Amino acid sequence: MASDLKGLEVILGVTGGIAAYKAVDLASKLTGEGAVVHCILTDSACKLVVPKSFEAVTGREVFTGLWSAPQEYRIGHVSLADRAQVMVVAPATANLLAKAAIGLCDDLLSTTLCAAWEKPIIIAPAMNDRMWSNPAVQQNVGTLRNRGWRFVGPAAGRLACGREGLGRMAEPAEILDMIRSVCSGS
């Protein structure tokens, strides 16, 4: 059976939320369906998951910074944005949402998001429930939604801090469904 994701160029941004381990599974599922996955890990993400995990499941080098680039890397954030048919950030922390909402470009992921503003962008937030409900975070989410960014999650459940609440990253299968929906024009 042919996958509707075959050949799709996906930039997968991974931030420093504890849910970063789920992003490895997402990258694996995307690759398994034939998508070409380019991963960008923030410094904080690299403290939780290692780039080699993403390299193993995608068969591609992982981008970890503006100044540590593979050979194919031209002007990184621009060439990555040009290549992408869709950008996905999973997990997306409150920090990333704030930077994106105001256009702050201080790392490879935020600069690539800024350069890819005309592309479909899917965000899978993950954070503590109190952080998610913070008015500043909700204002940033509203700003990004108004720009056409699509959100999947967060889900309710047990959080890393032990609390129950809204803040868990959506499961990889749900994110895949959103990618299919966005890329099919639904």
Domains of the chain: 9-184 (3.40.50.1950)
Note the pTM of the prediction, 2 decimals.
0.91
Are 35 and 14 spatial neighbours (Cβ–Cβ below 8 Å)?
Answer: no
Tens digit of pLDDT for each residue in 57-87?
999 989 988 765 554 545 455 678 888 899 9
CA 145 to chain centre: 15
Tell me the pLDDT of the chain averaged across its residues: 90
CA distances from 166 to 43, 65, 116 (A): 25, 31, 29
Tens digit of pLDDT for each residue in 19-42?
999 999 999 999 999 999 999 999
Q: How confident is the model at residue 11 (pLDDT cuts 50, 70, 90)?
A: very high
b/e per residue, 127-162, with b = 16+ CB within 10 A?
bbbebbeeeebeebbeebeeeebbbbbbeeeebeee
- Does the annotation count 105 as an active-site position? no
Are 12 and 36 spatial neighbours (Cβ–Cβ below 8 Å)?
Answer: no
Q: Which residue out of 39, 46, 161, 183 is catalytically annotated?
A: 161
Q: What is the pLDDT of residue 69?
A: 54
Averaged pLDDT, 112-116: 90
Averaged pLDDT, 9-19: 94
Could you give the percent of the chain with pLDDT greater than 90? 74
Averaged pLDDT, 152-162: 86
Are 153 and 168 spatial neighbours (Cβ–Cβ below 8 Å)?
Answer: yes
Q: How confident is the model at residue 1 (pLDDT cuts 50, 70, 90)?
A: very low
Residue bearing tokens 């429930």: 129
